[in-house]
Every structure is written in C-alpha cells, then in structure tokens.
Amino acid sequence: MLKLYTAQVCPFAHRCRLALTFAHLEHERVEIDLADMPDWYRHISPNQKVPLLEHNGHRIWESAIINEYLNEAFPDRNLLPQDPLLRVKFRLAVDWAGNHIIPTFYQVLRNEQADAAERMHKAIADMPQWLSLEGPFWLGDQPSLADAAIYPWFERWVALEHYRNFQAEWPARVQTWLEAMRNHPQVQQEAGDPKRYVSGYARYATPAKV
C-alpha cells in the first residue's frame, strides 16, 4: 500500500498528489501541519519536509524522485510517454522550470530582488517553446509527470496577484495549457482553496499587503 505524507499548501507535495491521481493509484494520505510539525513525523522524515512516500516498507522523499519512482514502479500507468525523446523533453522542461519558474516565483513573492518580476515575465514568454505543439497538455493530449511537476506553482499564482499585484500576460499556448489543466477532472479533484494559498503564503510575502 502506498502512503503519502503531504500538506495541502505545499506545491512539492501537490506534484505527488497529481501523479498518484493521474496514475489512478490507490493510496493513503496523511496531512502534515508544516507550521506545527509533529515530532513523530520529524523522526520518520529524513529531510523533515513533505512529501514523503512509503511503499513496501521503504521511504522515498523529494517530489521529483517520488514521481520518477511511481513511473518506474508502475510502468503500466503511463505517467510518461514511451518515446525516449519525449522523456528527454520532460526532464529538460522540469529542469528549466526548476531554474526559471519556481525560484522566481518565490523571489517575486518575497519582493527580494528588483528584477524578479521582469525575469518572471521573461520566463512566461519563453514557456511556449517548452510545451508540446500538439497539446493541450505539456507533452501532448494527456497529462503526465511534466504537468504534475510544473502546474502546482500556477495554481498558487493567486498569491503573487494578491501580495504583489503580479499580472501575467499568458501566451496563447500557455493559456491553452492552463485551461486544460484547470478543467481536467483529476486536477480539479486535487485543487486547493485559493484563500488557503493566500493565507499559507503570507509568511513568504512579509512585509506585504494583507
């Protein structure tokens, strides 16, 4: 039995919830309060973070590693296409997002670097080159680990709008991807409350408009 330790506000844990849902894998979930992490969880989590996956007596941590494990352990669930080139594109896209979207998201939110907003606009403008031409999802006509890896920060975009009044100009291909994700039943199943994202990210945005 798979068991995922998660936190609703955490985008890294969201990656794994999406992957498990896309794969239709039965699993147990344990919600961890990140603001008041229980001692028992500190003892079992090597990095004292979420997500953490337990499977067959083993513990696996770090969201990208967990999702790659799910793909390897359950190869019939089609979390990644079989085409080796598309798998390379997946890894390159996740690496690009990890260098340009994710860190810049927090820099804009914290208002800690003067050029962060400009760099985020540049990253958004560059996004179409990383997306499949066919779409509507990242690698094609079905959601995959690429979508699971990158979308959680876009669901939390409301925090940038609320605290920094950051208004993105989405290229048409990105808008198509966002709409496909927002309208997908499994993504909706895992969606969080926007108000909870705003309150959950308040500590990153200090000092901020509340």
Catalogue the active-site residues.
Answer: 10
Q: Tokens 């001692």 identify what position?
A: 39
Q: Which two tokens stand for residue 161?
A: 């709008």
Distance CA 44, CA 82 (A): 34
N-terminal to C-terminal alpha carbon distance within the chain: 42
Distance CA 8, CA 14 (A): 7
Neighbours of 10 (CB within 10 A): 21
Strands 52-55 and 27-31: unpaired
* Bond before 11 cis per omega within 30 degrees: no
